[in-house]
Amino acid sequence: MKTQEIIEQVNDAINKVFEGIPKGFKEYIYEEVLCYELEKRNIKFHKQKRLPFYWEGQYLCSYVPDLLIPTKDGDYVLELKHKAKIDGKDEIQLERYLFNMNQTDGSIVNFGTRTIKDYVLVDKNQLQKNTNEPRISEKAQQIIDAIKKVQDASDEPATRWIGQAEIAKITNINDSTVKSWLRKLVDQDVLIYEKGKGYQFNENKEIF
């Protein structure tokens, strides 16, 4: 079944949950009822499936999308929320899931506002075609290398925190780009952040 046909049936199931369950329940309640509605429609899905995150062929950590729905065109990703408003962090979360999975279709479902926000990610190859700029992965790697360099030079690397300005200076990448990639690396559990201290590698990352 093609993705669009699946999306229409999934949206029908979501709207059934919108209509049948009032606001205020825990997120997992909506998820359970939605899964029930998907099963009624004979829609296959994977719930809370743990997926590995690799960097240059090396496993670093794992992440867990709420629902994956297989289609003829690839996996359709659903992130479920119960919030007063969807914000940029939620969109980045879905974007990184799609990017890492090399998928293009996903939606953020907010049971708090009764809304479905569809998201289509540009193909990864398209994101990397601009030859005037380093590839996206290269920028993140520059940041990782900069942190490693600073920590390797420290007598106590485990206690050495690196600030955003220091990273920007070492990598010669503009502040806004550094900030964006630091946020993504924190989301991916590669780095941890503490206000007033800065960034360092996550030594307690989740094992797949």
Q: Give all domains of the chain, ordered by start, each with its CATH number.
A: 3-125 (3.40.1350), 136-201 (1.10.10.10)
pLDDT, residue 101, reads: 82
Spatial contact of 68 and 54, defined as CB atoms under 8 Å apart: no
pLDDT, residue 181, reads: 84
pLDDT, residue 14, reads: 94
pTM above 0.85, yes or no: no
**What length is written for the chain?**
208
pLDDT, residue 2, reads: 58
Per-residue pLDDT tens for 20-37? 999 889 999 999 999 999
Residue 70 has pLDDT above 70, yes or no: yes
pLDDT, residue 5, reads: 82
pLDDT, residue 204, reads: 59
Comparing C-alpha atoms, which of 200, 204, 186 is closest to residue 92? Answer: 186
pLDDT, residue 195, reads: 87
Per-residue pLDDT tens for 86-112? 888 888 888 888 888 878 788 999 999
Comparing C-alpha atoms, which of 87, 89, 106 is closest to residue 97? Answer: 106
Per-residue pLDDT tens for 143-170? 888 888 888 888 777 678 999 999 999 9
Distance CA 167, CA 143 (A): 7
